[in-house]
């Protein structure tokens, strides 16, 4: 069964480039980005793994751990990591799950038969500290992922978890945000949003980002 937003993601134990990983224990109370790859030694994936290594400090600032998955074994991953370091300037500095038995791929519905009946598609799962699924994205094998967008989404999710706001189209950290429509009491609005707000429409009220 496909995972849906808000579901508790399943735990698993699987081999990786950093030894056996029991997912819940490894994640702890951190957020997690789990991203899958069709196979080792593929060109687009090579660029992606290098980019995530470069961005790891940005994920860490947000209390996010990153973990990759490919259906090849750990020995293959080790050889691929050397290629990634050679071509991208950084080797993966996070674990790559060795999902040769497709256990995790099947558990997280990463194999789409109409796209390819044996290889994982490029799936991304953003999981919060309570093991709840907060975002899924699935890319075709030919299209590399935009990891700056994943950071933007995490910023939005973590902001909106803590304040009564949503983020508008193309929002970036520091931009104005939208007050949720359920808040109507003026006294509550003044308390929650001391910087004030602009009512473009009764249902569209913009306010400066509360935590800035």
Residues 52-111 have pLDDT tens digits of: 999 999 999 999 999 999 989 999 999 999 999 999 999 999 999 999 999 999 899 887
Residues 48 and 134 in one domain: yes
Residues 31 and 135 in one domain: yes
Residues 92 and 184 in one domain: no
Average pLDDT over residues 174-192: 95
The domain total for the chain is 2
Residues 119 and 191 in one domain: no
Residues 195 and 106 in one domain: no
> Is the predicted pLDDT of residue 118 greater than 90, yes or no?
no
Residue-wise pLDDT tens digits, 132-148: 999 999 888 788 999 99
In a domain, 154, yes or no: no
Average pLDDT over residues 177-181: 97
Residue-wise pLDDT tens digits, 155-169: 999 999 999 999 999
pLDDT on residue 142? 84
- Of the candidates 112, 145, 178, which is a domain's last residue? 145
Q: Is 45 a catalytic residue?
A: yes
pLDDT on residue 122? 78
In a domain, 153, yes or no: no
Residues 58 and 132 in one domain: yes
Average pLDDT over residues 34-49: 92
Residues 61 and 35 in one domain: yes
In a domain, 111, yes or no: yes
**Would you say 74 and 15 are in contact if contact means Cβ atoms under 8 Å apart?**
yes
- Give the residue among 5, 8, 12, 46 at the shortest CA–CA distance from 26: 12
In a domain, 3, yes or no: no
- Give the residue among 47, 17, 12, 59 at the shortest CA–CA distance from 154: 59
| Domain boundaries, position 47 | 13-145
pLDDT on residue 2? 81
Angle between helices 147-162 and 43-61 (to 10 degrees): 30
SS3 content of the chain, % helix, strand, coil (to 5): 30, 25, 45
Highest mean pLDDT among 35-39, 142-146, 147-151: 147-151
Residues 113 and 179 in one domain: no
Average pLDDT over residues 178-207: 95
Residues 62 and 120 in one domain: yes
Residues 101 and 128 in one domain: yes
- Of the candidates 145, 180, 199, which is a domain's last residue? 145
Report if pTM > 0.95: no
Q: What is the CATH number of the domain that holds 103?
A: 3.40.30.10
In a domain, 8, yes or no: no
What's the mean per-residue pLDDT of the chain? Answer: 93
Of residues 9, 32, 33, 45, which has the active-site annotation?
A: 45
Residues 177 and 138 in one domain: no
In a domain, 139, yes or no: yes
Cα dihedral 66, 72, 78, 79 in deg (nearest 10): -130
Distance CA 169, CA 39 (A): 34
Residues 75 and 124 in one domain: yes
């Amino acid at each position: 069964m496909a995972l849906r937003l808000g579901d508790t993601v399943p735990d698993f134990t699987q081999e990786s480039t950093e030894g056996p990983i029991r997912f819940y224990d490894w994640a702890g109370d951190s957020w997690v980005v789990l991203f899958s790859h069709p196979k080792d030694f593929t060109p687009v994936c090579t660029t992606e793994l290098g980019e995530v290594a470069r961005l790891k400090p940005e994920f860490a600032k947000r209390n996010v751990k990153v973990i990759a998955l490919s259906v090849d074994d750990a020995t293959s991953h080790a050889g691929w990591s050397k290629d990634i370091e050679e071509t991208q300037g950084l080797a993966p500095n996070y674990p790559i799950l060795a999902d040769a038995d497709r256990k995790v791929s099947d558990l997280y519905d990463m194999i789409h038969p109409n796209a390819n009946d044996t290889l994982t598609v490029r799936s991304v799962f953003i999981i919060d500290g309570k093991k709840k699924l907060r975002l899924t994205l699935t890319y075709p094998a030919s299209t590399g992922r935009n990891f700056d967008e994943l950071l933007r989404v995490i910023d939005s999710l973590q902001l909106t978890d803590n304040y009564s706001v949503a983020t508008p189209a193309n929002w970036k950290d520091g931009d104005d945000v939208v007050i949720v429509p359920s808040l109507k009491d003026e006294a509550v609005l003044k308390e929650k949003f001391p910087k004030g707000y602009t009512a473009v429409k009764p249902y569209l009220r913009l306010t400066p980002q509360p935590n800035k």
